[in-house]
Structure 1
Amino acid sequence: MKQAGKQALSDNTPRPASNENYLLISAFSAAEKSPLVAVSKRISECGCNLAEARVSTLGNELSVLALAQGAWDAIAKLENALARLDRDGELRLTHFRTSAKQQQSNLLPYVVEVVAADKPGVLFQLAEFFAQQNISIEQLHSTRYRAMQTGADMFSAQITIGIPNTTHIAALRDDFLEFCDGLNLDAIMDPMKF
């Protein structure tokens, strides 16, 4: 028993600062009962801050991704509050502890927009292209819709990517546009404007 205690004390894993504890929360509910109110209320009541949030309607469901930040005991209190909220059954919840995103100054933010006739696998092919180039997808929003004039099923995606600063941008853009031409995708890749 003492050995385990000594081993834990000699562990070189740094503990987070007192308010640098994070809980990633995913909540879903029917669109008319927004989980944002319930989740953000619990975060506030437990003494945590809402560091980041994303809200999206997918099908008939409203989804919320929230990143709560706070002291260790406040995060533990929030975990218990979320467990009670999950048991109530109005929301579908998952949560787990995480850490802050590490700043990567070597990545250049670019925005990619793609429009094409809808067909299976388009998003997979786009994700695979960027993965093969060691380019991270930071944010993505894709949708399927019907074209007003023709009624054709269409696919649209807006993607924020992080390109390593060692990448030759002109060559990457040429490769990407050639890739899109091969799939009959209309696409642009531009630096993100702040």
Structure 2
Amino acid sequence: MSQYLVLTAMGPDRTGIVSELIKLASECGCNILDSKMAIFGEEFAFIMMLKGDNASINQLEVKLPARAMELELLTMMKRTSGYKPLDHSQQYQAQYSGIDQPGVLKAVTAFFAHRNIDLSSLRSEINPETDIMSATLMFTMNGDSCINALENEFLQLCEQFNVQGCIKKTNY
């Protein structure tokens, strides 16, 4: 029976570090179902959803702490019940940008949360030279929701913060 494990690693950004983590997962007999990596300044963060039989997942759970110490990484692992791929047929992207100001990202994420819309991805950044902030949020709509009404409400929110925004369907 398949077992599933979410593994998160953070540490100094160095060439080959992701390769080392993937190598360990492979050596333990685990398959990577999904993964994401990002660089934050001189640090990196990596998250993987792994699948394997009980022995493979156990082996990885035992070997990872020592390997993480060698690589100077902070790691977390959590067993989970399974993996359900996202339905990308109704996936949308909300974007906004403008002069940086406190509270915009909080308001935007609350906007979706209050409408029971789950975010599948979030990327935000501020250009320190121009003080321009931008964010991209990915979400999936269910069949009975009206994207036009949602977009109008989102544009009203953007207007309140004097930022430019849009929602568009993704071609995943």
TM > 0.5 between the two? yes
- Which structure has the larger Rg? 1
Q: Indicate yes or no: 2:101 matched with 1:119.
A: yes
Identity value in percent: 26
Q: 1:76-110 CA distances to partner (integer Å, 9 max, x unpaired)? A: 01100112223446111111111334357698210
Q: Distance in 2 between matches of 1:41 and 1:130?
A: 38
CA positional deviation for 1:192: 1.1
In the aligned structure 2, how far is the partner of 1:186 from the partner of 1:115?
5
The 1:34–1:121 alpha-carbon spacing in structure 2 relative to 1, beyond 3 Å, is farther
CA displacement, residues 39-73 of structure 1 (integer Å, 9 cap, x when unaligned): 11110110111111111001210111111111011
Which residue of the partner structure matches residue 51 of structure 1? 33
Counterpart residue number, 2:142: 164
Please give the TM-score of this superposition, normalised by the length of structure 1: 0.81
Match 1:187 to one of 151, 154, 165: 165
**Equivalent residue for 1:5?**
none
Deviations 1:88-140 (Å, cap 9, x if unpaired)? 46111111111334357698210111111111222111100000111111011
Alignment map for 1:32-111 (pairs within 5 Å): 32-88=14-70, 90-102=72-84, 108-111=90-93
- Matches for 1:6-17 after TM superposition, within 5 Å: none
> What is the rounded CA distance, in whole Å, between the counterparts of 1:40 and 1:73 in structure 2?
17
Greater RCO (Cα-Cα under 8 Å, separation 6 or more): 2
Asked if the contact 1:107–1:165 (Cα under 8 Å) also holds between the matched residues in 2, the reply is: no
3-state DSSP of counterpart to 1:123: helix
Q: 2:132 aligns with which of 146, 150, 154?
A: 154
Q: TM-score, normalised by structure 2?
A: 0.91
Cα RMSD of the aligned pairs, angstroms, is: 1.9
The answer for unaligned runs of 5 or more in structure 1 is 1-17
Structure 2 alignment gaps of length 5 or more = none
Q: Are 1:137 and 2:119 an aligned pair?
A: yes
